[in-house]
Structure 1
Amino acid sequence: MAENGKGEEIKASSPSPVFGSASTFGAGTGFGGFKGVGAAASSSQAEKPEDNTPPEEGTGETEEECQAEFRPIVQLEEVERVSGEEGEKTLADFKSKLYRFDNDSGEWKERGIGQVRLLESSDTGKIRLLMRQEKTLKIRANHFVMPGTKLQEHSGSEKAWVYSTVDFADEEQKPELFCFRFSSVERAQEFKRHFEDAMAHNEKSLAADEEQGESPGEGATDAETAKAEHAAKEAEADDLAGKVGQVKVSEEDDKSSQA
């Protein structure tokens, strides 16, 4: 400490902080104020807590559920679809590709791909074969399983069966030469077994009808009428069956007929 002329001690004045008042930035440093600012911000946030509570009902802040009703301009009534298969039991069901022999061109034509089924009527007890095209459900084969029908294995393929029959798919009875092709030999053999069982069943049913004195043209069933027409057209069908060697199915067709 310095002394003045009167012998009194004179205290040296403290130097001013470079960055302002020490009361603002903190004692002894020029950067203490930064800590104060952070503390002030935290204090401000603590004073105003965030409100996460949902708005109270009746305040108008919630979205109201729409109560409007929209009705179609045109009212469509439900229509019951009649397939003609009511009252029939499915005995067997296979996916297959069907070909028919075209007499005019002398070639085999693809008729469709779909489910071929054996159906037993609950009224007559007789069995018919029915095949519908997939998706469109258009009938591609529809005939009584005639006793004595000859299933012939297609030459060069164990997956296909060829036989002649009187078919009613086009709502007109006419002789047809069909070739059903399956995805595997096992499925083809299974179809043959069910088809032969159906022939044996129908043979007994027709024999029972004959014992009752029924004959074609005198209260005969559609199955018996088909039997009479089948016998009349048997020679023509046998001629067509002789052309079975002309059936040609590509590998691409084989892959598309999955069971």
Structure 2
Amino acid sequence: MSSEEQPTVKADAAEEPKAASPTPIFGASSTFGGTGFGGFAAQAAAADSGDAAAPPAAAAGGDDEEEAGEGEEECKAEFKPVVQLDEVEISTGEEEEEALFDAKCKLYRYDNDAAEWKERGVGQGRILKHKENKKIRFLMRQDKTLKIRGNHIIMPGTKVQEHGGSDKAMVWSCVDFADESQRMELFCIRFASPERAQQFQAAYHDAGRQMGELIGQPDFVEQSEESKAADELAAEVEAKAKVEEEGGEAKQETAAAE
């Protein structure tokens, strides 16, 4: 074999593995055909032999890049929802009322069967006056859920008094409609400060006076015997607990002195 034919043999040997290599997945420079860096060696041999033709892999890679560029065009398609929902205004019934009192509170109701106070909810306790018919009601909604936990017309003569053992709490009896059915309830409302509790008491009594001028004094204004008994029982339980607490503290002081 002559020295002039030797470059041709090298070129053929370089082209042979390229024909068997798979089409590049990520362009001309990325191939997982197991050839490693053989492609670069073949290109260097071709350059030394004077072969200016581009390798098939490079040509194929150029086509792939053009196709990828065409596929990256911004999608301008618009998709409409299957169901169209219209905005609906929800009425709370408070739009035609003005607030005579509004404060954060915790509301309790007395459970006669269990003979104990049970928490009703935490939220805004409000005394609202209707702008047209002038009727006044108490309304309390649970925080976040806005569920009604107390809702009743303030009747003339209703007494709101300080709850035994706490100057931040007030108790009163009423016919409540929070569960959409009239029910006799004994409520206890607790505020963050004694001043706020006194403001509530004054606002409730003033609302009762205005309702008396509007609808007149009802025949029955006093608490029922059941409500009175429940309130007295709750006061006795709290007084007993306070005495026991004070007795425990006295025993601890005596033991410490000894």
Which TM-score applies when normalising by structure 1? 0.58
| Percent of aligned pairs sharing the same letter | 53
Residue by residue over 1:11-38, the C-alpha shift from the partner in whole angstroms, topping out at 9 and shown as x without a partner, is: xxxxxxxxxxxxxxxxxxxxxxxxxxxx
* 1:119 match: 128
Residue by residue over 1:107-135, the C-alpha shift from the partner in whole angstroms, topping out at 9 and shown as x without a partner, is: 11000001111111123211100001111
Report the 3-state secondary structure (helix = DSSP H, G, I; strand = E; otherwise coil) of the residue aligned with 1:243: helix
Report the 3-state secondary structure (helix = DSSP H, G, I; strand = E; otherwise coil) of the residue aligned with 2:174: strand
Distance 1:155 1:233 in 2: 17
Residue ranges of structure 2 left out of the alignment (5+ in a row):
1-71, 240-258
Mapping for residues 82-121 of structure 1, pairs under 5 Å:
82-121=91-130
Q: Aligned pair 1:182/2:172, yes or no?
A: no
Higher CA-based Rg: 1
How many residues in Structure 1 have an aligned counterpart in Structure 2? 169
Contact kept? 1:88, 1:122, Cα under 8 Å: yes
Residue by residue over 1:153-190, the C-alpha shift from the partner in whole angstroms, topping out at 9 and shown as x without a partner, is: 12221100011111111111121110000011121122
Q: Which among 167, 173, 178 is matched to residue 182 of structure 2?
A: 173
Q: Aligned pair 1:134/2:143, yes or no?
A: yes
* 2:248 match: none
* 2:49 match: none
Report the 3-state secondary structure (helix = DSSP H, G, I; strand = E; otherwise coil) of the residue aligned with 1:202: helix
Q: CA deviation at 1:204?
A: 0.9
The 1:64/1:198 distance shift into structure 2, 3 A limit, reads farther
Q: Which among 230, 237, 240 is matched to residue 230 of structure 2?
A: 240
Contact kept? 2:157, 2:222, Cα under 8 Å: no
Contact kept? 2:158, 2:221, Cα under 8 Å: no
The 1:201/1:172 distance shift into structure 2, 3 A limit, reads same
Contact kept? 1:175, 1:233, Cα under 8 Å: no
> Which has more helix, going by share of residues?
2
Contact kept? 1:165, 1:237, Cα under 8 Å: no
* 2:155 match: 146
* 1:219 match: none
Contact kept? 1:154, 1:247, Cα under 8 Å: no
Q: CA deviation at 1:101?
A: 0.4
